[in-house]
Structure 1
Amino acid sequence: MPDSTDTDGLTVGQVSARLGVTVRALHHWDEIGLARPSLRTTAGYRLYTAGDLERLHRIVVYREIGLGLDRIQAVLDDSTADVPGALRAQRHQIAERIERLQRLSAGLDRMIDAHERGLLLTAEQQAAIFGPQWDPDGPAQARERYGDTTQWRQYAERSASRTAEEWQAVADEVADLDRALAKAMDAGVTPGSEEANHLVERHREVFASYFPLSRQMQVCLGRMYEADPGFAAHYDGIRPGLATWFRSIVDAAARAHGIDPDTATWQ
């Protein structure tokens, strides 16, 4: 390389600042022969000329659109390289990446809405799926009460990806379970029996549509179903005494697994 005075060209640091490229990257490109500075000072320091900067600008652009360094070198140095073809192929990859990012953005929007609203359904859809007695303000009230809990986050993640048809399937499973509970109580199924324990397990499985339910958490739910006026009205509206009977079979199943229902906590 020809010598130069200290005032000719730009130093590595100056080029780094001008192009927004790290000094380390410039040194690497120099080492692999992708972009070597054309000049040296009398003290041996490398300097970049205007031609070097032009090449570096092209490298930065090609790298920004996703070309690898080997491909960039071929585009710059191989006279037989199909530059338009390489750029078209890269444009196609970028278009696919944009489409993926747009899908990701839409998914994130749904996730945000689900965390804030709970159900991503209109009031009309909620009434059609959950029945005319359903309170469309219920999810907002639940968020206000439970929005800081792990279970609300789990519920929101499920809700974000669930369609109206899938919510209908969940509602149908819940209704089938309610009917099975009422039928079992009418038949005199006793707490702790095999049939009662099967219904308790089925309840945990169905409830997992909202969030995973441990046995201790299920005991707490059983208490709430009996004590909370809204839940008690729902179950006792199906069969008088159903809320208390359901709690009794949950407590019996918990005892069989070494859990004291009187001391069980939400965990």
Structure 2
Amino acid sequence: MALTVSQVARLARISVRTLHHYDALELLCPSERSDAGYRLYSRADLQRLQQVLFFRELGFPLEEIRRILGNPDFDLRAALLMQRQLLDERAERLDALRHAVDAALASIDQGTQMSNEKMFEAFEGVDPSRYEAEVVERWGNTEAYRVSKQRTAKYRQEEWRRIKEESDGVFQGLAALLEAGRAPTEREAMDLAEAHRQHLIRWFYPCTPDFHRALGEMYVSDSRFTENIDGKKPGLSLFTRDAFVANAARQSP
């Protein structure tokens, strides 16, 4: 039986206003209307709403979610598997940080002194693809996740060091261009953007220009990305996004 907007709002623990907003954005349009013109939501609508809320919890902007769900190749089961993978990765990272905090507390309580290396080992060798995976799989392509997981499982500390050096080199180059007052649409900036895309392809997963553009969009829409990148140089996240967008545009047929 179709549900009214107020019933769906109570069920999903969101406001009626939010549902109206999703309808206006064409993110979640109810598939039926009552004789009086009121919105009615089907079972399929509820599944779509669940996907919207899952993606929101994972930090995806609404416009990206609309594009994901509107893709003709969208696969619900594949999307759920991807979301589970992202949550597992986030839980793993948080668990490592929790243990680091516990170790720091134990050091204080026991009156001992942690070594310099021990203080920061939780941050060593962090997989730089951890959050980038949030956009790579937005089309439900589980094969890319499989490839990435197989590759990274074999990497040793030396590989992670090389990966970090390559990535840092790209962002240092972009920061230098920003510092010099260059435009992100200039060839040198786009070449660095392409170098970053090839870096992802080489070490992690297939990354089309469109995927890479979406990654750039997350650099400015997700505070985790923005704070990290702008920590290298204020404004670098926006500059990087624009370089990624320009690079993707020049590769369009």
TM-score for the superposition, normalised by structure 1: 0.44
Higher RCO (C-alpha under 8 Å, 6+ residues apart)? 2
TM-score for the superposition, normalised by structure 2: 0.46
Larger Rg: 1
